[in-house]
Structure 1
């Protein structure tokens, strides 16, 4: 097959995979719903390659994500709904409409002003789609978003109309309040109520991060990486001493954990 770098070739590959005769049985069985988790996974793999600055991997991951778009478009086309050209047309039209300062005569002073204009245009579009239906400031925040991301988006929407803490200190007090409520439920041994309070605490932590101008997703990813790095170092140290994690006591693991933390602190300060 020639011209591997053309989008038309990718569309042909997708059509071949979904062909009733001679296609791939697995690909033919897929639906929007069964493919959706793979789409989300590929988006995260793109983000992971970017975070690690693995540009060779990023090239491949972007291709995998593009393939997901083509897959969904092919399923839609088979159902008589829309095809890949319609997807392209829709996004091009949207980008032109939302950038009148580039494709029209409007002017914006800076990136912040453009963000405000962008959100205003999105609000007008949501209003047009809603028609006679009762509208909400929270319309358009996708339910399927990861909970951490959705919490931040909901909070930002509410903040636009002034429903927000005045600063990060107010949000911090809310975190403390929610922490106390978690403690109370731990003592009550009510798993349902505890889940509810833990959710409130996590939501409050997202609020704190947002008002402190810290991206909560980035902060948590950093914490995950730090935990993994320290755990692996602790694991390796115990292994060198002839001790597996199964054999080591909690006290031994804690001693090594603290040693790793101190070692990292010395390196950071050197």
Structure 2
């Protein structure tokens, strides 16, 4: 109990000491400084679990580095970074170097997750909703094709796209 008490006092000088803070971000920034300077942590990222799912890990990494001030000021700047990473991906694709393409695609994902944070959208939740929406639309496409005695696998992409657009419109109109 004494160890926990000491840790709480040390990590919360804005409560138990004379440190002044303006907001929650100041508290987090101070906490990171204390962990590195007084507790011997080597990096603000040392607490990020290696086994964490990638989207959650990217979000956690970005939140951690934000606590030491490594953060964009405006969401427009983050979007510019997304666009820059997309251009780098396009250039990498022309080289035919699979490892470079993979690296640049990872940078695009990381930047988009950062943009999601600025929009205050949970990237994992947004992607899962997209997955569900896609499944619903695709299954409706299959149903519509079956009703016309057609098999999607035997149709040209243009006709499948027509079914896709009909399914999208139907679902949009139904709520």
Could you say whether these structures have the same fold, taking a TM-score greater than 0.5 normalized by the shorter chain as the test?
yes
Unaligned runs of 5+ in 2: 9-14, 17-22
Kept in 2: contact 1:155–1:207 (CA 8 A): yes
Q: Distance in 1 between matches of 2:36 and 2:43?
A: 13
RMSD: 3.1
Judging changes above 3 Å, is the alpha-carbon distance between structure 1 residues 219 and 194 closer, same or farther for their aligned structure 2 residues?
same
Q: Distance in 2 between matches of 1:142 and 1:208?
A: 22
Q: Distance in 1 between matches of 2:95 and 2:75?
A: 30
Unaligned runs of 5+ in 1: 1-92, 99-104, 107-111
Q: Which residue is 1:153 aligned to? A: 60
Matched, 1:141 2:48: yes
Q: Which residue is 2:19 aligned to? A: none
Matched, 1:266 2:169: no
The aligned runs of 1:107-118 (5 Å cut-off) are: 116=27
Kept in 1: contact 2:36–2:43 (CA 8 A): no
Judging changes above 3 Å, is the alpha-carbon distance between structure 1 residues 183 and 225 closer, same or farther for their aligned structure 2 residues?
same
- Give the greater-gyration-radius structure (CA): 1
How does the TM-score come out when normalised to structure 1? 0.52
The aligned runs of 1:215-230 (5 Å cut-off) are: 215-230=122-137
How does the TM-score come out when normalised to structure 2? 0.78
Number of corresponding residues: 160
Q: 2:148 aligns with which of 216, 241, 262?
A: 241
The list of structure 1 runs, each at least 4 consecutive aligned residues, that deviate by more than 2 angstroms after superposition, is: 123-128, 264-268
